[in-house]
Amino acid sequence: MKRKLLGFLYVAAVTGVLCGCNGNETTGGDGPVTTQAAEITEGASTETTIADAPPTGNVSGAVSAEVTPAEATPTEEPTATPTAEATPAETSVPDGIIEVKVPAAVNVPDNEAMAFVRDMGAGWNLGNTFDATNCTWLSDPMDYESAWCGVKTTQALIKEIHNAGFDTIRIPVSWHNHVDGSYNIDSKWMNRVQEVVDWAYDEGMYVIINIHHDNEDAFEYPSYDKMDQSKKYVTKIWEQISERFADYDEHLIYECMNEPRQVGTDHEWWINDKNSAVAKESFDCINQLNQAIVDTIRANGKGYNGSRYIMVPGYCASPEFEVIDAFVLPEDSKATAENRIIVSVHAYTPYSFALEQPGTSNFDIATRKGTGDIDSFMKRLYEKFVAKGIPVVIGEFGALEKNGNDDTRVQFAAYYVAMATHYNLATVWWDNNAHNASGECFQIIDRSSLN
């Protein structure tokens, strides 16, 4: 399989390894994000060979390479994702590729869910697009699509993303600005979302759609006093989504919610005491909402909804609130296939490099500057879920552009994706189409020029 490489995120995938991160996302320029630093994992290899890897410019000038996926057919015993070795790095690593050496291979259970996540490959978010909300200055609700990102999505963009080597696309969607008083979704909005889904689906990509920025008092909110209202909203929305997309096969993935949390509180992004009353309430409410959504999707009973993979988040989608016992996977007895629940996490780690402003603009594989936090949170996700056969997708990760530091962003992407692959975690880069500007800039492809 020969493909142009974007010269950025996919640089690590060609080595046959993945990686992850710990932290929180940016959500369309929303408020501050706080994360807890993770301890450095001992025993991780630090040997690297870093080749020239120009991060910018037209994708046609990026490196092409024959890709032999690490996702080889598993053996009867639990298998490990192989690492790239054999010939010396100086002869085996083409120019423009960053080689990341990972720790000793880990056991990955032999089941369909693990193979499914491996097949998802490298992913990309159509961020700040259909997830734009509360744009009160607009007279036409259909203009929400370009309100935050500045451009409407084209089929050419989707094709370019796929040609660049991305096999998964996440399409975040906010619905509450496009519903009536009974939560019926506006047909024009649903049709437009479906059109873009079709462009990616017809490319053979995996497509993730969700409920994104609807985390408000009147719609979806994880507190006991809002539970009845929240369940009514999310079940009504998912009834309509599951009906519209019932006949799409397993390449279409449903993600229950984005980052459910108690918005507007002093614990919106971080709860210090996981055993406090507010923590227990928040965690329980999110478990209830995930369960209600899974039940709604399975109850549809049409097409592929019985066997479809469903992603479920914990509090603010942070790994820290998902590796704990209070996070409970939904019961899924109505599914027509086993193990169809995927743990959904977001991890902008290390926070000081990936998301903090100003933070630091430096990340260095050779000196392990910033790598320890990535090692730690991915290892914990592996031990809690993957080692037990439960699939995990990092639906959002990325690193801010800071003063033209694309070279270090390339290193970050390579290391993150390599380590995630090692632990059998899929990764989806957050791209909000902003670059070389103030605020949160995660762009890796210009949607207007397709560079």
Encode burial over 165-197: b for 16+ CB neighbours within 10 A, e otherwise: bbbbbbbbbbbbbbbeeebebeeebbebbbebb
Could you check whether the bond before residue 350 is cis, i.e. omega within 30 degrees of 0? yes
Active site residue 396: yes
Could you check whether the bond before residue 358 is cis, i.e. omega within 30 degrees of 0? yes
Catalytic residue among 220, 259, 356, 440: 259
CA distance 180 to 14: 47
* Burial (0-12, 13-18, 19+ Cβ within 10 Å), 232: middle
Report the sign of the C-alpha dihedral through residues 7, 12, 13, 16, in that order: positive
Catalytic residue among 178, 212, 213, 251: 212
Catalytic residue among 203, 396, 401, 440: 396
CB atoms < 10 A from the CB of 44, how many? 19
Q: What's the first-to-final CA gap in the chain, in angstroms? A: 22
Scanning the structure block, which residue is given the tokens 């743990």?
Answer: 343
- The one-letter amino acid code at 330 reads P
Largest CA distance in the chain: 64
Distances (CA, A) of 443 to 31, 81, 104, 436, 449: 19, 30, 33, 9, 13
- For 47, half-sphere exposure in the C-beta direction (CA atoms, 13 angstrom radius) is 10
Encode burial over 241-275: b for 16+ CB neighbours within 10 A, e otherwise: bbebbbebeebbbbbbbbbbbbbeeebbbbbeeee
What counts of helices (H) and strands (E) characterise the chain? 10, 14
Cross-strand bridge partners of residue 210: 255
CA distance 428 to 394: 6
Q: Where are the alpha helices (DSSP H) in 78-141?
A: 89-92, 112-120
Q: Where are the alpha helices (DSSP H) in 218-370?
A: 227-244, 277-300, 351-354
Active site residue 77: no
- Please identify every residue annotated as catalytic: 212, 259, 396
